[in-house]
Chain A
Amino acid sequence: MSKKVLLNSKEIEIILHRLACQLIENHNDFSNTALIGLQPRGSFLAKRLASILTNDYHVKNIPLGLLDITFYRDDFRRRDEPLEATDTQIDFLIENKNVVLIDDVLFSGRSVRAGLTAIQSYGRPKNIELLVLIDRRFSRHLPIQPNYKGRQVDAIDKEKVIVHWKESHTKDGIYLENK
């Protein structure tokens, strides 16, 4: 099993700032925008972006929610391993809001599909955009593309993109692992 560094912590930091600036470009003061991290792994990215926007770019009161998609997945009972649910924390209505769904890696697009269904339980958004840190090209099962992406990666099916956050691991880092 080999492991290659795709992005180190410095590069991740630069990319996160770029993504934050792109969000500001399109959403101004975020008065009608909500960031929604897809649980579990998208939530680290969503929280990090929200903190950069608040601390470095002085955008105040960004609505940040975390969305669990377990009960909306289309591979329930088709996986060998059972799925484990996580918390959903959305304490605002998204009716008529601009929603930015946030996840770390975009692969088949099925998680995002589940997220699109799940978010409807909280109202009818004005529009929904997708932000991902890593976009794996040529691996999509569904017609889903990101509006904002950190880095595009061409990886074959045997390879796996591993994302480490300093909140859950010792430091930030994105690796390509050959199984």
Chain B
Amino acid sequence: MKQLSVEHLLGIKYLNKDDIDLIFETANHFKEVINRPIKKVPSLRDITIANLFFENSTRTKLSFELAEKRLSSDIINFSASQSSLKKGETLIDTVNNILAMKVDIVVMRHPNVGAGVFLSKHIDAKIINAGDGTHEHPTQALLDSYSIKEKLGSIKGKKIVIVGDVLHSRVALSNIFALKLQGAEVKVCGPTTLIPKHIESLGVKVETNIQKALEWCDVANVLRVQHERMDVKYFPSTREYTQLFGINNEILDNLGKKITIMHPGPINRGVEITSEVADSNQSIILNQVENGVAVRMAVIYLLAQQIKR
């Protein structure tokens, strides 16, 4: 019988191929569950989960919350903006206080890199990283791979280009780890100021011409331009970015093949991608959202399976 090789989901880099396969197989079952008339199973009715969001989030938080509710777990929610953090409490104190309320699993998003790893060393609960700074966002990468697999049948040998702000993107890093692990070819494309130095050491290639990148790929995963993480100007203007790296129907129509378009959201419509492309039948953006719930149910279920009473 199979179970995950890890005790927490801190990042894709700690997983192996079998873990990803197991998560996807389990997610298939949960996808069937969430399409039933009654979309709920009682598996986790004695599990309590704390969703700790030290950074803003809409869809990840909703998706986790829904996944937890579909599994019948009890939930407590926390967001930094309404908390005692403002009064100077440390991360460990905040989390230990929450754990004193007998919480089994912590889903955490934090602006600092490595917050999940740090927490996993100090507290006795399963940790799921829902994004740590510019480092990793494992569940997003899993749902992205799951969606590609669903659309194209497999990941192995497929060509995927990650377009945009790779430097600030935890989605990009987790996606690179996940896709390489499953045998895909990966390129990154964006302004050189937004491509990290030495990114080739992860086994990906760099392309600065969007036209060439799209001609090469089967799937384009388009990232959001993260204005809030940019302390200096990385490109002269949003308009110039759109002209050089924005994806529109004209570019796609001239490719001579249909590629799949993905976006982790939230979309800056008209900046990295036009509305027509985002809403077209080439885009699987809303499938990603649906799959997100199934994949997160699988991750929570598989980690909860390891909790012994």
Q: How far is the CA of A166 from the CA of B29 in the complex (A)?
A: 27
What per-residue 1/0 map shows which CB atoms of A44-74 lie under 8 Å from chain B?
Answer: 0000000000000000000000001011110
Contact between chains at B1 and A84 (CB < 8 Å):
yes
Contact between chains at A72 and B41 (CB < 8 Å):
yes
Contact between chains at A76 and B29 (CB < 8 Å):
no
Contact between chains at B42 and A71 (CB < 8 Å):
yes
Given contacts A77-B304, A77-B305, A87-B29, contact A72 B1 (CB under 8 A): no
- Complex contacts, B41 vs chain A, CB 8 Å: 71-72, 121
Q: How far is the CA of A83 from the CA of B43 in the complex (A)?
A: 11
Q: Is A120 an interface residue (CB 8 A)?
A: yes
Contact between chains at A93 and B37 (CB < 8 Å):
yes
Q: Is B33 an interface residue (CB 8 A)?
A: yes
Q: How far is the CA of A106 from the CA of B245 in the complex (A)?
A: 63
Q: Is A28 an interface residue (CB 8 A)?
A: no
Q: How far is the CA of A77 from the CA of B304 in the complex (A)?
A: 8
Q: Is B230 an interface residue (CB 8 A)?
A: no
Contact between chains at A77 and B308 (CB < 8 Å):
yes
The interface size bin for chain B is 20 to 34
Given contacts A77-B308, A83-B1, A84-B1, contact A121 B29 (CB under 8 A): no
* Closest-CB distance, A94 to chain B (whole angstroms): 10
Contact between chains at A87 and B32 (CB < 8 Å):
yes
Given contacts A87-B29, A117-B42, contact A82 B37 (CB under 8 A): no
Q: Is B307 an interface residue (CB 8 A)?
A: yes
Contact between chains at B1 and A71 (CB < 8 Å):
no
Q: Is A85 an interface residue (CB 8 A)?
A: yes
Q: Is A167 an interface residue (CB 8 A)?
A: no
- Complex contacts, B29 vs chain A, CB 8 Å: 68, 70-71, 85-88
Contact between chains at A123 and B308 (CB < 8 Å):
no
Question: Given A82, A120, A121, which contacts B2 in the complex, CB threshold below 8 Å?
Answer: A82
Contact between chains at B26 and A122 (CB < 8 Å):
no
Contact between chains at A121 and B38 (CB < 8 Å):
yes
What per-residue 1/0 map shows which CB atoms of B28-50 lie under 8 Å from chain A?
Answer: 01001100111111110000000
- Complex contacts, B25 vs chain A, CB 8 Å: 85
Q: Which residue of B lies closest to A95 (CB)?
A: B37
Contact between chains at A122 and B2 (CB < 8 Å):
no
Q: Is A157 an interface residue (CB 8 A)?
A: no
Contact between chains at A72 and B42 (CB < 8 Å):
yes
Q: How far is the CA of A86 from the CA of B2 in the complex (A)?
A: 13
Question: Given B3, B33, B38, which contacts A71 in the complex, CB threshold below 8 Å?
Answer: B33
- Complex contacts, A121 vs chain B, CB 8 Å: 33, 36-41
Q: Is B87 an interface residue (CB 8 A)?
A: no
A selection of 12 A-B contacts at a CB cut-off of 8 Å is: A68-B29, A70-B29, A72-B43, A73-B43, A77-B304, A84-B1, A84-B2, A87-B29, A88-B29, A121-B37, A121-B38, A121-B41
Interface residues of B (CB under 8 A from A): 1-3, 25-26, 29, 32-33, 36-43, 71, 301, 304-305, 307-309
